[in-house]
A and B are shown apart, each in its own frame.
Chain A
Amino acid sequence: MFNIQRFCVEDGPGIRTTVFLKGCPLRCLWCHNPESQLPGPQMSYDRERCIKCGACFDACAKHAIAKGSHFPDPKLCAGCDDCAQACPNGSRQIIGLEIVVGELMDTIVRDRGFYEESGGGVTFSGGEPLAQSSFLLEALRACRRLGIHTAVDTSGYAKRREALAVARLADLVLYDLKHVDDLRHRELTGVSNRPILDNLRALATEPVEVWIRVPLVPGVNDDPVHLELLGGFLASLEKHYPVWLLPYHRLGSHKLGRLGMPDRQEYEEPSTGRIERCADSLRAFGLEVCVNGKIAGEPPAPQMK
């Protein structure tokens, strides 16, 4: 796990706690949580925050941090967290920790009153939560016992059996669709979309509630041709699901430097007009479309075709 974020209001209905599980099979070019990709712990270093006290140099028994560099030499680093422990202000931290379900639940239950007041609950996000499906299933069961509403935010890139098992325990699936064209999907995310689309078709025969979430990235998936394909695909499903457009933002990019990852190509942030045009072209298929943070109210319950 790499983060627990409380008071999330855009990852499902109501006030939610979002649990971010680390590790993702996809490598989306615009990924806004780059720290979520690798399954293991990672060093994060915030240059602007660092007060250059040198405590991390002194703490490292392997002398893996050379003066003037900020990231430990991977050949020397023992993977311990001594340097992060020594850092006086948290500008150096380890991202990613192992947690058991019981510990996680201790945090989740804290906001139970707020979930109940708002119709909220917990969202398991990532990374790809289905990549740790046994942990996820256990956590979902624990939430169900306590009557806490659960949502799973997934790329859908998972084994059918696991996807269905999770869908049967979760109250809501937030299902991310990036691109309907397989070739393009491979270019953009590094993997085929075939399991993703197939899993979604399979989910449509289950009673679980599903919201489709589309990260809207200008020049990547907001062109009329793709929107036609996407709308057609969604309209062809057993059920019509509400669609949420998640406009691309650049907030993830500043994390790259902290993780020692190379800079990447940036996209434009879509304008309101552009977002609305995209929403309208999907609405033409009879779909309910919402834009994250823009449209009042919860989307209506999915209708049977």
Chain B
Amino acid sequence: MTDRVKSLRARSLEALPSISAERARLMTEFYRENDGKHSVPVLRALSFMYLCERKTIWIGDGELIVGERGPEPKATPTFPELTCHSLEDLDILSSREKTSYAVPSEARDVYEREVIPYWRGRSMRDRLFQVLPREWQDAYEAGIFTEFMEQRAPGHTVADGKIYVKGLNGIKRTIQEELAKLDCLNDPRALDRREQLLAMEISADATILFAKRHAVLAREMAKKAEPKRAKELKRIAEVCERVPAEPPRDFWEALQAYWFCHLGVVTELNGWDAFSPGRLDQHLIPFYRAGIADGSLDEEKAKELLECFWVKFNNHPAPPKVGVTAAESGTYTDFANINIGGLTPNGDDGANEVSYLLLDVIEEMHILQPSNNIQLSRQNPDAFLKAACRVIRHGYGFPSVFNADAVMAEMLRQGKSLDDAREAGTSGCVEAGAFGKEAYILTGYFNLPKILEITLHDGVDPRTGKRIGLATGPCGSFDDLFKAWQRQVRHFVDIKVRGSQMIERMFAKYAPAPFLSLLIDDCVAKGCDYNAGGARYNTSYIQGVGIGTITDCFSAIKTHVFDDKFVSLDDLVRAMEGDFEGNEPLRARLANRTPRYGNDDDAADSIMVRCFEAFFQAVDGRPNTRGGQYRIDMLPTTCHVYFGSVTGATPDGRKAWTPLSEGISPVQGADRNGPTAVFRSASKMDHLRTGGTLLNMKFSPNVLACEEGIARLGQLIRGYFRLNGHHVQFNVVDAELLREAQRNPEEHRDLIVRVAGYSDYFCDLGRSLQDEIIARTEHDAVG
């Protein structure tokens, strides 16, 4: 690592997240003056232009890749047009123990004087809750599901390679062609298209202008800098003059081109998962090879540029989240995710020189952001897998590992073309999507075990005494009970989808994303916004949570109530209501003498498959409002902790308010037959009919101690993937170290662990999540 990178990395780690009210202030100014003068898309584009013209820009000492989302690193803008934080919210943000953001008093003042008075009642969040039906709000408050769009825009997408080939000016030329083709005589939507296309054009200009402001600033700074830095600043100025307007000419320009597009996306709206470069190794390889060939680039220089690029992601904590959204996604990570390896557009091995370089970068940098992963296909050589395993061994939770062949099959099942499927990958936590062509929007988590609790109480939530489900009546057999749960699942999916349909339309009408629309095919060709169905593919996901817990619950009821008749259903429910107080033998029997998911035990796993199918059938294929369908994902972020906190004791012996199982991992500690049995159990679910599943596995470092351990890890992964597993990620830390970090957090601030679809600083996690990570089974290999 060069001294430059060391210093940039250290500064990024040291800077504390804070709230910047600059964006909120500028947006308020703009809207006070302009609201009502333009169509919504053009108004949005002009507000984006207003920001790009005026926001403070920043070039840090030693930086080679430039541009910040806020006025300085870790200063985090807010989006009052979507979520207007109250003063109380700001106080919570600044004072809460985990994922806090410092709130400067000027920011608080701006909110009090300008932002809140204008946006209260106008923000998307305020308006959503006025529209959403009572039954939706009841289920939401009970913790049956969450709603991603209550504080943030849809987002959830990834770039393809067009910006490196066309530049924004190239895309603008296509917009002008489309404008010229508009047929107002025959096309009733021609005006809508016109407004949308104009908005996209303005947004492209805004981002180009924003880049050029950096060129101006760099030249200014060069005047006062010492000669070596002055030379770099002049080069930075040249780069910012060129990209993203025109296609990049070299490796440096390519990285900077992406970065300005990234900034555009995350400045326009606060979409989920920020934005991601997708197949970075494949996008960069022509520039890398050309630079090596003409001598203008060498491996060290390329690595330094990549590391400067890496730091930029880490400078951006997620936009501040409050309430349920903070609980379901309690992290600074904003889920930008970089894909390495996989297939080329021709379907060949996609691992190249840059892939290996990226693995080196991950190993050297080990910082929170960007998330990164390898896409592993049958076509990729073992050398590539081993190189990744050597990084995994260090235990930062990076990179996570995806099955590129399974991702392709998932895309094809959803009706994508083979070409688009090959360019697909995964982003966010584990979500598969066709990069540059798809809006694959996560709508919220869905609490499968809570619905059993409600079923066992005939539709009433025992936590609040409120009836929110169907009265399905008493159940005399296991099948009766299962069917009752299945009916309740469908009931709540209906409620969830009804809400999501409204929310989709509200974003389509009131919060278009013209800049993002430039980057995703076929928004320009259709003259239709990303948020309104402009993308080639439009998928809405509901993410199932607690498949391990719900399986063990049903298995426990089947075994002990209906098969062995050890306890009656009524007595079991009573014991659960008392959180098994004074009934430890019953609790122990439920937990220990039940066939449990994760042991390759068909008795339990067949129940898992049944639960999965019930959820799948309730969701998959329903039409959304954007011309696409609802699908399922199986991932939790941190929502299994939140969902656990609203769910009482469960029939698997789980105590009240403790976390549910995460992703498709077994309940913490339930798996006793080692990693191959976990993989086998998990693979009995049909991953290819989801858009992503998340499996977490923890290894003690000694398992991966030598080259042989590296090989074994690779073989385990290959073995899981031949069973069509979608994803696996590894924590390689021992429980003792984690306990030590709990006792002395100050000494272990840098400890990164894999949480669920992303890695996080262990000490930034809530106590219950920390405990849970410690409790996750350590898979010690036994000789």
A residues apposed to B, CB below 8 Å: 5-11, 14-15, 51, 53, 55, 88-90, 110-111, 113-114, 116-118, 120, 292-297
Contact = CB atoms under 8 A, between A and B. Distances in A.
Interface in B25-79: none
B705 A53 contact: no
Give 10 nearest A-B pairs by CB, closest first: A10-B783, A88-B589, A118-B715, A296-B707, A114-B719, A7-B674, A88-B588, A53-B585, A89-B592, A89-B588
Contacts of B779: 7
Contacts of A111: 676, 680, 719
Interface in B749-783: 779, 781-783
A88 B592 contact: yes
Contacts of B592: 88-90
Nearest to A294: B706
Interface secondary structure of B, over-half rule:
helix
Contacts of B712: 9, 15, 118
21 contacts: A6-B673, A7-B781, A7-B782, A14-B715, A15-B716, A51-B585, A88-B592, A88-B593, A89-B592, A110-B677, A110-B680, A113-B722, A113-B723, A114-B679, A114-B719, A118-B712, A118-B719, A120-B715, A293-B783, A296-B706, A297-B707
B294 interface: no
B675 interface: yes
Interface in B568-595: 584-586, 588-589, 591-593
Given A111-B680, A113-B723, A117-B718, A9 B708 contact: yes
A81 to B, nearest CB: 13
B600 interface: yes
A10 B722 CA distance: 23
Interface in B272-316: none
Contact of B722 (A5, A117, A294): A117
A231 B588 CA distance: 53
A11 B783 contact: yes
A10 B677 CA distance: 18
Contacts of A14: 715
B2 to A, nearest CB: 32
Contacts of B588: 51, 53, 88-89
Interface centre among B586, B677, B705, B782 (most CB of A within 10 A): B782
Given A7-B675, A88-B588, 19 more contacts: A6-B673, A7-B781, A8-B781, A8-B783, A9-B708, A14-B715, A15-B676, A15-B716, A51-B584, A51-B588, A55-B585, A89-B591, A110-B676, A110-B677, A111-B676, A113-B719, A118-B711, A120-B715, A295-B706
B201 to A, nearest CB: 52
Contacts of B706: 293-296
Given A117-B718, A295-B706, A90 B677 contact: no
B667 to A, nearest CB: 15
Contacts of A114: 676, 679, 715-716, 719
Contacts of B593: 88-90
Interface string B593-626: 1000000100000000000000000000000000
Contacts of B585: 51, 53, 55, 88
A301 B656 CA distance: 56
A61 B719 CA distance: 48
Contacts of A53: 584-585, 588
Interface string B672-701: 011111011000000000000000000000
Interface string B395-409: 000000000000000
